[in-house]
Amino acid sequence: MSSSKWDQKYEAAPGGLFGNSPNEYVREIAARSDFAARTGLCLADGDGRNSRWLAARGLQMTAVDLSAVACANGERLDAAAGVRVERIAGDVEDWQPAEGRRWEAVFVMYLQAPEATRMAAVQRGWIALDAGGWIVVEAFAKAQAAAGNGLGPGSLDLMYDLEEFCAWLPDAEVVEALAGRIGLDEGGRHHGLAHVVRFAARKY
Ligand SMILES: C[S@@+](CC[C@H](N)C(=O)[O-])C[C@H]1O[C@@H](n2cnc3c(N)ncnc32)[C@H](O)[C@@H]1O
């Protein structure tokens, strides 16, 4: 989907397109006894529900999203929440962090995009990780295309397969690689039972 299409969606939802609470998997990872990241990067972060929540927990956060409107909404919601997130409007396919800049955790949540784009996000996120860092992804699985309940991007091309992660990140130390159904309750758009993938891995 083009940036202008996403801009239109975010213009219509100034309070948060997917609500203003973090994704449950982000909460679960952050609550793990072995998760101690102090810095985080959220790619395709939208209007920032996840980076804002992580910032409120004390992580120094950076976020990238294609939609300038999403970034502007995110900055306003950050200010209302009393946190600061470095928000960058950019395409994950060509955004590059400054030379040598690294983060201790990278999150790619619900980037619904063609394979080349989602691979670029995951691989760029991996390169941007410090040693010991975490990469965390949740998104609609290809099985969602046949579910017929209106959830997800509708096109098989924009959904994930767990096997992709093995090909994209051959050196990852996998912590979890799960495909299954979960009840989503994230604003009006992500509501109901959905087939998803959840992937978390560390870089050593
Ligand atoms: C379903 S939303 C999820 C937003 C956020 N991660 C969340 O969970 O609330 C997908 C987001 O991906 C962004 N996006 C799509 N293609 C992108 C790209 N090539 N580069 C950066 N962001 C992209 C959209 O602008 C949109 O904000």
Average per-residue pLDDT for the chain: 96
pTM over 0.95: yes
For the chain, the first-to-last Cα distance in angstroms comes to 34
Ligand 1 pocket check: which of 66, 78, 93, 184 to mutate, most ligand atoms within 8 Å of Cβ? 66
> Token pair of 113, please?
């995009």
Work out the widest C-alpha separation in the chain, in whole angstroms. Answer: 45
The tens digit of pLDDT for each residue in 78-87 reads: 999 999 999 9
Is the per-residue pLDDT at 189 higher than 80?
Answer: no
The tens digit of pLDDT for each residue in 117-138 reads: 999 999 999 999 999 999 999 9
Which ligand 1 atom sits nearest the alpha carbon of residue 17? Answer: 9
Domains and CATH numbers, the chain: 3-13+37-202 (3.40.50.150)
Q: What's the pLDDT score for residue 14?
A: 95
Is the per-residue pLDDT at 191 higher than 80?
Answer: yes
Q: How far is 53 from 26, CA to CA, in rounded Å?
A: 9
Q: What's the pLDDT score for residue 17?
A: 95
Helices (H), the chain: 3-11, 24-30, 49-56, 68-81, 115-127, 162-168
Residue 3's pLDDT band (boundaries 50, 70, 90)?
confident
Cα 44 to ligand 1 centre (Å): 4
Ligand 1 pocket check: which of 9, 29, 43, 65 to mutate, most ligand atoms within 8 Å of Cβ? 65
